[in-house]
Amino acid sequence: MAEFIMELNDEQKEVRDWIHGFAAEVMRPAAAEWDEREETPWPVIQEAAKIGIYSLDFYAQQYFDPTGLGIPMAMEELFWGDAGIALSIVGTGLAAVGVLANGTEEQIGTWIPQMYGTPDDVKVAAFCSSEPDAGSDVAALRTRAVYDGAKDEWVLNGTKTWATNGGIANVHVVVASVAPALGSKGHASFIVPPDTPGLSQGQKFQKHGIRASHTAEVVLEDVRIPGSCLLGGKEKLDERLARARERAKSGGERVKNAAMATFEASRPAVGAMAVGTARAAYEEALEYAKTREQFGRPIIDNQGVAFQLADMRTSIDAARLLVWRASWMAVNGKPFTAAEGSQSKLFASETAKKVTAQAVQILGGNGFTREYPVERMHRDAAIYTIFEGTSEIQRLVIARTLSGMPIR
């Protein structure tokens, strides 16, 4: 097990500086344009693919970094560049984590490469869990998967919503109920291969922030997929369902469902995204405060501004440490006995929301205009307290973990 450290090694620093250069030279100059267009920035994704940032190899290297700092370091730098474009670049990763968390070695080797495509023909993937009536309440999920034993096929029906890359993805990972009576314990994840009949894009959402990232509904109408597309395989599913039924009869402990396994693995990464956006806004505010003069002196000379910047920096550093701790724990197989993953996501996302608001305030009227990037950063930061578990849900997870009680 790798020792928990609070400093990047030389190799990690080189990777960080490489990603930072791409974020500064490619992403930031394009950020305002793609935010206005509200379209997937395919040219930027392709540039990321050409240099190796958008690739299976790159994410595998960071994911398997024994220190656990590879992924949060990469996420922070990309989201420092721009949250909307960064989410278009890393959105495929959530689907990939879904396969890594629940799939067999053969499924991992078959489907994850197809999620990324090649530098000359880039592809994206989508993880489809939320539904119009089932967001935080995953037990209310209505999408059904029924097994057709005669053909060894699964038939999926339902509507997913808030899916990053939904409908434009090459590969969709869909969470569906196979045993509705078991609630969230009866869920399973499925791969929907490219060009599968019955899958279509529904409404594309026009969002407050992260507008360069495609978010849409995914409609599933009698979607037939091979039995081999059930992540983990049917034998493993049948065993899990049998255990869940026995526990339900005896009132035993709950088991984790497929969607929660994915979110638990990805929450520290979301925290790192929030840290990147918060850091970007803080740096803009700091530079502005040092150069903007009022009453004959820089506004940073005023305690009201200087103390805000001090609090902003302190919160960002604290958020990063929580993210790094949770990431190290996850990679080294240490259980989240105090919901450390949710802690990191909660604190970092709330920090991003607060820090970007403070940055707008420090810039005053300029901060409220699109001429300055803090306006966009403030809009982008709002998503962190919402997606992959709202702040309220994170607090519920933490409280339940600490108390062992079914707090509602």
Is 375 designated active site?
Answer: no
The runs of H, that is alpha helices, within 91-129 are: 92-102, 105-116
Instruction: Dig out the tokens for 172 from the structure.
Output: 């969709």
Cα–Cα distance between 285 and 241 in angstroms, integer? 53
Q: Which residues pair with 75 in a beta bridge?
A: none
Cα–Cα distance between 68 and 66 in angstroms, integer? 5
Our measurement of the distance from residue 305's CA atom to the centroid of its chain's CA atoms, rounded to an integer in Å, reads 32
Q: Are strands 215-226 and 199-204 parallel, antiparallel or unpaired?
A: antiparallel
| Closest residue by Cα to residue 389 from 223, 255, 270, 236 | 270
Do the Cβ atoms of 49 and 122 come closer than 8 Å? yes
Tell me phi and psi for residue 154, to 5 degrees: -105, 140
CA-atom Rg of the chain in angstroms = 22
| Closest residue by Cα to residue 31 from 358, 367, 376, 273 | 376
Q: Which of 131, 264, 284, 388 is catalytic?
A: 388
DSSP 185: G
What is the longest distance spanned by two Cα atoms in the chain?
82
DSSP 231-289: TT-HHHHHHHHHHHHHHHHHT------HHHHHHHHHHHHHHHHHHHHHHHHHHHHHHHH
Q: Which residues pair with 298 in a beta bridge?
A: 293
| Closest residue by Cα to residue 346 from 315, 314, 310 | 315
Collapse the DSSP code of 58 into the 3-class scheme (helix H, G, I; strand E, B; otherwise coil) and give the result. Answer: helix
Q: Which residues pair with 223 in a beta bridge?
A: 156
Cα–Cα distance between 320 and 72 in angstroms, integer? 9
Q: Are strands 171-177 and 125-128 parallel, antiparallel or unpaired?
A: parallel
**Catalytic residues, which ones?**
388
